[in-house]
Amino acid sequence: MAVAPGITGHGAVGNGAPGDAPDNFSTEKTVDASGNGRNYSGNQFTVDGLNITSNILLGTANLTPNPDSIQEMAVQTNTFSVENGRGSSVQIAITTKSGSNQYHGTGSYFFTDQHLWARTEFTPTTGYEPFKKNDLAGTFGGPIIKNHTFFFASVEDLRAQVSQATQVHVVESPEFVAFAKQAYANSIGTKLLTQYPLFSVVTTGVNQTAQQAFGSACGTPSAGNIPCDLPVSDNARFKPSPFRNALQYNFRVDQSFSKDRLYFSMYRTNLDTENIAIRQGFHDVGNNNTKAYQAAYTHIFNTNLLNDFSYGQIRVQGSSGESGGIPFHVPDIGIDGGQEGINGPWGPATFIQNNYNWRDVVTLLEIWIRVLERGRRRALCGTLLSTAFPVCNSVDSCSGSTPGREWRQL
């Protein structure tokens, strides 16, 4: 998309919205692509005519269909239709696949991990931190009743483990916790450090001893008789490897009659993102999901008149802090000296966004044959009910009659 004429930007990027990543499972997909002098907040996305653009985070897509379910994608920067006048930057129109009279399907599996990536000059010996990605996808479609009823379905499953940057923290030392259990066994601080210990940290050295923290007070009753050489805090590395699991599937049915056409499709995306806390008991799995439904009915009255009606809706929902067992009764607690405190994830909270689309378009086509008195050239002109001027495939003007021309309606 970013390489299309008239567009600047880097395309799909990660971390542009909550739960976002450079894949098609994000429920708020940020696309760094701009046109017409606007930034990406003016972008608009449609799937089979259904507007899937977020009403909250402008220019982001609430649904990203998996590639195997897409028939074609049109990227427009200056050929806007009136019905899509909301988008002022880039308009992306996606058409999904349908079934046919022949059964057909596809399948794919993608796997990668740290061992399959070539090292660079920045990782000559250590290599990459552990990560992995398993992506399994498949499609199948065909006739239910030949020449009349068709179906198409697709599914894509993601099972991934993400490698995150190492975080450096100042944490309480094991020696200090052991001293607190002995000297202050019934204190609130000791209970909190005992019930919610550190998780997945690697100590790299002593940050402060009691002598550095308390000065001359160490070893005296005013400091609880803490030994002066006792490590109070350590420097530690915290490197979580959370999972990112997702499932997306869609189903489409087309029904053709002699003068009517029915269409129904649905998409469902479910994304689970693990948030690993530095303290046990505060882990959370955030969920984001999208549900999109659309139906359309087209009726042909005659060769010149037809009606097209469609209705669609898309619902986006996300949650944080709703995993069971998180001790939200414990307030956020900070510790002096820059040490890691005790706090949980954001929440519990949820957000919901609904987007409803409906339209009814009546098209009337009137056709005339225009015969020129001189010569043998004939031109065909047509006028659409929704346009103010005739549409013509001739270089001659159709805006009005001129001497020597004859108009005959078919």
pLDDT score recorded for residue 287: 92
Q: What is the mean pLDDT of the chain?
A: 83
The alpha helices in 135-264, defined as continuous H runs, are: 174-183, 188-195, 210-214
Cβ 210 vs Cβ 228: under 8 Å: yes
Q: How far apart are CA 158 and CA 23, in angstroms?
A: 10
Cβ 130 vs Cβ 200: under 8 Å: no
pLDDT score recorded for residue 107: 96
Q: How far apart are CA 402 and CA 394, in angstroms?
A: 15
Cβ 178 vs Cβ 230: under 8 Å: no
Q: Which residues contact 381 (CB under 8 A, 6 or more apart)?
A: 367, 368, 370, 390, 391, 392, 393, 394, 398
Contacts of 386-394 with CB under 8 Å at 24 or more apart are 386/361
69 backbone dihedrals φ, ψ, rounded to 5°: -100, 0
> How many helices (H) and strands (E) would you count in the chain?
3, 23
191 backbone dihedrals φ, ψ, rounded to 5°: -65, -40
From 60, 29, 31, 23, select the one nearest 244 (Cα to Cα). Answer: 23
Name the one residue in this structure whose structure tokens are 């009279």.
Answer: 101
- Highest mean pLDDT: which range of 29-33, 305-309, 325-329: 305-309
pLDDT score recorded for residue 129: 82
pLDDT band at 310 (very low <50, low <70, confident <90, very high): very high
CA distances from 227 to 82, 190, 215, 230, 236 (A): 78, 18, 11, 5, 22
Residue 382 has pLDDT above 50, yes or no: no
pLDDT band at 165 (very low <50, low <70, confident <90, very high): confident
pLDDT score recorded for residue 16: 60
Average pLDDT over residues 52-76: 89
The number of residues making up the chain comes to 410
pLDDT score recorded for residue 321: 86
- Residue type present at position 43: N
Q: Which residues pair with 8 in a beta bridge?
A: 34
Q: What is the pTM of this model?
A: 0.78
Average pLDDT over residues 364-374: 65
- Residue type present at position 49: G
pLDDT one-digit tens code per residue, 231-289: 999 999 888 889 999 999 999 999 999 889 999 999 999 999 988 888 888 899 999 99
pLDDT score recorded for residue 376: 41
For the chain, domain boundaries: 8-96, 105-123+135-161+245-335+350-359, 167-238, 364-409
Please give the full DSSP string across 227-265, using - where no structure is assigned. Answer: -TTSEEEEEEEE----EEEEEEEEEEEEEE-SSEEEEEE
Average pLDDT over residues 313-331: 88
More confident residue, 76 or 123: 76
Percentage of the chain beyond pLDDT 70 is 85
Q: Which helix (H) or strand (E) holds 70?
A: strand 70-76
From 19, 79, 89, select the one nearest 316 (Cα to Cα). Answer: 19
pLDDT score recorded for residue 3: 67
pLDDT score recorded for residue 124: 67
pLDDT score recorded for residue 178: 93
From 333, 330, 327, select the one nearest 172 (Cα to Cα). Answer: 333
pLDDT band at 95 (very low <50, low <70, confident <90, very high): very high
pLDDT band at 13 (very low <50, low <70, confident <90, very high): low
224 backbone dihedrals φ, ψ, rounded to 5°: 70, 20
3-state secondary structure of 104: strand
Average pLDDT over residues 312-332: 88
Q: Which residues pair with 299 in a beta bridge?
A: 260, 307
pLDDT score recorded for residue 262: 95
Residue 377 has pLDDT above 60, yes or no: no
Average pLDDT over residues 299-306: 91
Domain 8-96, architecture per CATH: Beta Complex (2.170)
More confident residue, 12 or 219: 219
Four-point Cα dihedral 371, 373, 374, 379, nearest 10: -10
